[in-house]
Amino acid sequence: MRPLLYFLVAGLSAGLTSFDPEKPDMQLSKPFTVDSLGACQGISWLHGKAYLYGDREVGMIREFTLKGDSLAYTGHECRLTLNDTDVINHPTGLAYNGKDPVFMGNSVVLNKEKNIWKAVIYCIDWEGLWRTGTLDGGNLLNVIEDDACIQGTRPEYVKYNKKWYVATADYGNRANEVRLYDPAVLRHVSKTSEKGVLFKKFTCGPWVQNMQWIPEKNILLLIQNREEGRKWRFTYLDLVKSVESGRQEIIKVVDIDRGDELEGFSFLASRRKGIAVTSSRRENVNFMDINW
């Protein structure tokens, strides 16, 4: 196994593209605490609302509205359970584009000492989930083992050559990849290694916790840790060049001076505002300003 330093250096140096080196600039503007999430694992901004998901006593999602420079809980919560059994216990990534199947990831440690993980992607009925509050009632449409992954899964929709794909990435320090899956095929298979699921893949740096697609710029943002479970890093990639070269083509890397575990990030209605979430018990939700 190559040392971690190799992957950190390679991840930063591989395929730097021409771009204003000062932008985008990201600054923390206001941290605050949101309770009842367990360890927050991610955030999605959909239709003017923020959906924060975590691993409380069971995997769950809570809905929030933006209220000034804070979030207001709407009172709506979903539990990612089926027949009172915790199914998506450690949610990692939510792929939603408003037209294709909705997918959510789950990364489970099978053996911590040997660093063995099981990654699962769930196809869910999003509207049904919010109607019933659980995966019961046919809201769990399919369970897909992400056996094409190296370590973990975190689905996010991206568009390449005018077609939507479900991108996912690994969390680890060896041979990390971003993979693009065909959602129409993924919807019906039992494993991602099955024929027709994988479209393209490219190598990327370590410790990817989540991803964010920026369609108007064809940029894929990797939300990462700089060390395992610690420190914040945002890596902006040129998706087209990355797919074509087979390795991450970096536009800009932004490191933020925080020592806790960055888990997710989402832009809000404007690309100039965003929210980063962490697994910490305090200051787990953080407003950020972005200067393009």
Q: Residue 96 maps to which CATH number?
A: 2.120.10
- Please say whether the beta carbons of 110 and 120 come within 8 A: no
Residues spanned by the domain of 245: 4-291
**How many Å apart are CA 96 and CA 253, to the nearest integer?**
25
Q: Tell me how long the chain is.
A: 292
Number of compact structural domains in the chain: 1
What are phi and psi for residue 58, nearest 5 degrees? -140, 165
- Please say whether the beta carbons of 33 and 52 come within 8 A: no
pLDDT for 43 equals 98
pLDDT for 19 equals 56
pLDDT for 132 equals 97
pLDDT for 174 equals 85
Sequence-ordered list of residues with C-beta below 8 angstroms from that of 215, at least 6 positions apart, any chain: 159
Paired with 227 in beta bridges are 230
Rounded to two decimals, the pTM is 0.91
Burial class of 5 by CB neighbour count within 10 A (0 to 12, 13 to 18, 19+): exposed
> What is the separation, in whole angstroms, between the first and last Cα of the chain?
38
pLDDT for 177 equals 96
Sequence-ordered list of residues with C-beta below 8 angstroms from that of 9, at least 6 positions apart, any chain: none
pLDDT for 118 equals 87
**How many Å apart are CA 31 and CA 199, to the nearest integer?**
39
- Please say whether the beta carbons of 197 and 179 come within 8 A: no
H, E, C per residue of the chain: CCCHHHHHHHHHHCCCCCCCCCCCEEEEEEEECCCCCCCEEEEEEECCEEEEEEECCCEEEEEEEEECCEEEEEEEEEECEECCEECCCCEEEEECCCCCCEEEEEEEEEECCCCEEEEEEEEECHHHHHHHCCCCCCCEEEEEECCCCCCCCCCEEEEECCEEEEEEECCCCCCCEEEEECHHHHCCCCECCCCCCEEEEEECCCCEEEEEEEHHHCEEEEEEEEECCEEEEEEEEEHHHHHHHCECCEEEEEEECCCCCEEEEEECCCCCEEEEEECCCCCCEEEEEEEC
- Please say whether the beta carbons of 218 and 167 come within 8 A: no
pLDDT for 150 equals 86
- Please say whether the beta carbons of 131 and 83 come within 8 A: no
Angle at 203 between CA 280 and CA 260, to 5 degrees: 10
- The residue ranges of the chain whose pLDDT is under 50 are 1-18
